[in-house]
């Protein structure tokens, strides 16, 4: 099924990067048409910083409009809010590099278009909660491998960390509850013709607990025939 992707969003949020990535993808040319609206968003302070660093003029901050950069960013956000609310997917690019955004889009566009697309995201609370998440789970209540110096340099993908959590009763209960909850509500979202659902799991540093839980959840959903896009915000290439 061929996809028609309507890309919109805030100025400075990464539309140029995504457009160039889509132009490079042969897969979307080879697939009846399924329309998806993707909205790129970012925190106001991030947008202001990006425009300041590149010295680009904001479309609403010109001699014609005469708004300051801060006023322009806030005005555009207000003007675009209705479109954001009806979009199939809102991607928060505040803490994504251009490479991360490219990889995100490549993976997203390769997912089946005839079922709900599930995005699983690990993150660090110290860097902020992803505001594009539909559900957020806090794993900071679990034992932290960081305090074991022999495990500190590892991530939730490593066997030693998996073994650490396999012996932890609370971690096992957490992943069981997370899997049951996610499977139930993914099916509910799918029954209501939702195109995307984003589930985010956070811990302090976004390296051990949240990564382990997201990987475990992805494996569980995969065994149930539910494909998921996995994003580790604090681990993926900068």
Mean pLDDT by 10 residues, the chain (238 residues): 72 80 58 71 90 84 77 90 85 84 77 78 93 93 96 96 97 97 90 84 97 97 91 77
**Residue ranges of the domains in the chain?**
1-114, 115-238
Sheet holding 2-9, edge to edge: 2-9, 33-41, 89-92
Length of the chain: 238
According to CATH, the superfamily of the domain at 1-114 is P-loop containing nucleotide triphosphate hydrolases (3.40.50.300)
Q: What is the pTM of this model?
A: 0.70
Which of 223, 197, 209 has its CA nearest to residue 170?
Answer: 209
Q: What pLDDT does residue 68 have? A: 87
**What is the CATH topology of the domain spanning 115-238?**
Rossmann fold (3.40.50)
Distance CA 229, CA 238 (A): 18
Distance CA 236, CA 151 (A): 19
Q: Is the dihedral of CA 15, 64, 52, 56 positive or negative?
A: positive
Two domains, one topology: 1-114 and 115-238? yes
């Amino acid at each position: 099924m061929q996809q028609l992707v309507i890309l919109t969003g805030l100025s400075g949020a990464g539309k140029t990067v995504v457009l160039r990535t889509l132009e490079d993808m042969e897969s979307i040319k080879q697939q009846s048409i399924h329309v998806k609206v993707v909205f790129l968003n970012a925190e106001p302070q991030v947008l202001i910083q990006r425009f300041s660093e590149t010295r680009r003029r904001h479309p609403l901050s010109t001699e014609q409009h005469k708004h300051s950069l801060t006023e322009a960013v806030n005005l555009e956000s207000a003007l675009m809010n209705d479109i954001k609310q009806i979009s199939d997917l809102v991607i928060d690019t505040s803490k994504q590099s251009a490479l991360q955004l490219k990889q995100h889009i490549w993976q997203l566009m390769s997912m089946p278009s005839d079922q709900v697309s599930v995005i699983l995201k690990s993150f660090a609370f110290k860097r902020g909660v992803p505001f594009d998440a539909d559900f957020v789970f806090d794993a900071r209540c679990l034992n932290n491998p960081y305090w074991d110096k022999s495990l500190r340099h590892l991530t939730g993908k490593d066997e030693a960390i998996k073994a650490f959590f396999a012996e932890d009763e609370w971690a096992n209960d957490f992943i069981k509850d997370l899997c049951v909850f996610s499977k139930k509500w993914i099916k509910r979202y799918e029954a209501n013709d939702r195109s995307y659902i984003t589930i985010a799991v956070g811990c302090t540093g976004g390296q051990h607990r949240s990564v382990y839980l997201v990987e475990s959840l992805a494996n569980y959903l995969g065994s149930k025939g539910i494909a998921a896009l996995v994003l580790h915000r604090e681990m993926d290439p900068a």
